Structure 1
Amino acid sequence: MGMVRLDLVYRASRLRLSRLVRELDAGQLDTEVPACPRWHVRDVAAHLAGVAHDFATDRLDGSPDPLWTRRHVRERHRLPMAAVLAEWERWAPRVERLLVGPDARGSLAHDMTQHEADVRAALGLPRLPGEVWHTMLDELCRTAEPWHDGACTLVVNAHGRTWWLGGGAPSAEVDVDGYELWRAWFGRRSPAQMRAWQWQGEPGPFITQLPVFGPRDTDLAEP
């Protein structure tokens, strides 16, 4: 797979989610999002608009801590959804520019697509198109940093591909559904769910270190 155009990934995901959210009624906007505890669909949209604003205006104090993300929701709590989406659209082109070049802020595209998946699951909709999460999973696996300075390496087999995560000799190998791996990487799966994958070797170090922000405490079942 060639170099990923993360700016285009972000744009396509934003447009899909904006169209979806724009058509929801008040009750649907208040749907709880299990992947984001204590958040509703409207809060996810507020967060994404806030991320776009803050990166575009360099308001990154506290990023990416929970207080920073909660501020996005709090500041837009009383705004109608049309205003939230308009703000997001206003700042999105600047975000896209941050996703181009050798210093691209790839986390913005990952955050965008993960939250799109969060909302779709909360509303009982099918998964994201395979080409979307395949692309993002490949990007993660290609750029993953070694664990323990390369002393702890995981071999991953998912949707017909194999990646080596780490620079040393393999200490474990896992066969896993690619979508499950992609979601787990951003804390959308519990340790119990990750242990249920088909492992060879001791999975413990990877279960705690693979998720960027740590694993969630409870299982999360999604369509």
Structure 2
Amino acid sequence: MHQGHVRSVNIGRPRPNPWKRLPATGIDKRPVAGPVAVTAPGPKGDGAVGLAGDRAYDVKHHGGADQAVYAYAREDLDHWERQLGRPLPDGAFGENLTTTGYDLNSALIGERWRIGARLVLEVSCPRIPCATFAGWLGEKGWTRAFTRAALPGPYLRVVEPGEVAAGDRIEVVSRPAEHAVTVASSFRALTTEPELLPALLEVAAFPAADREAIRRRLTRGA
């Protein structure tokens, strides 16, 4: 099926987080020499993520099984380099995996990727921009620009643990046949096009807590 490659594997370096009044943030991710072990981190709440050596510090909003790994395409970083007129190295958006050769935003929620020999990841939900991301980029109007572009990149959960290294092939081994909800369309539903929200309720692979929040939102709006 569709194939791409891992261009770099990026691990966070803790640094102060003045944008959320938290003691630290792990958004400053830099390429590391692999391979890096990837395992399922368990529920959100303690900062655990999928890649060994990395962690989340905003434990309320980040980390946990549904946000174990974040991927962003080098092609989309190149788009932002042109838009912003500045270099954006691999890891600049806080992504664990910088990829090439596959349109990550067209990936279906619930599709599965085999990376390297053993690792299997499942697309769970899009990244939603936060104050830390906006502060880290330091671009005026960044949250609005990122939202308008609808190039969020996916969070992924770990289905089968393994290792990942730069150069590993990404093979899409399964795609849901029962829906057509993509990373990009789910992002638009959650941000600029709420009329798309009902479709997310039918996607079993979309995080359960998020589906419940959508259900409550739609009920209030009824």
Structure 2 length-normalised TM: 0.34
Q: As a proportion of its length, which structure holds more strand?
A: 2
Greater C-alpha radius of gyration: 1
Higher helix proportion: 1
Structure with higher RCO (Cα < 8 A, 6+ apart) = 2
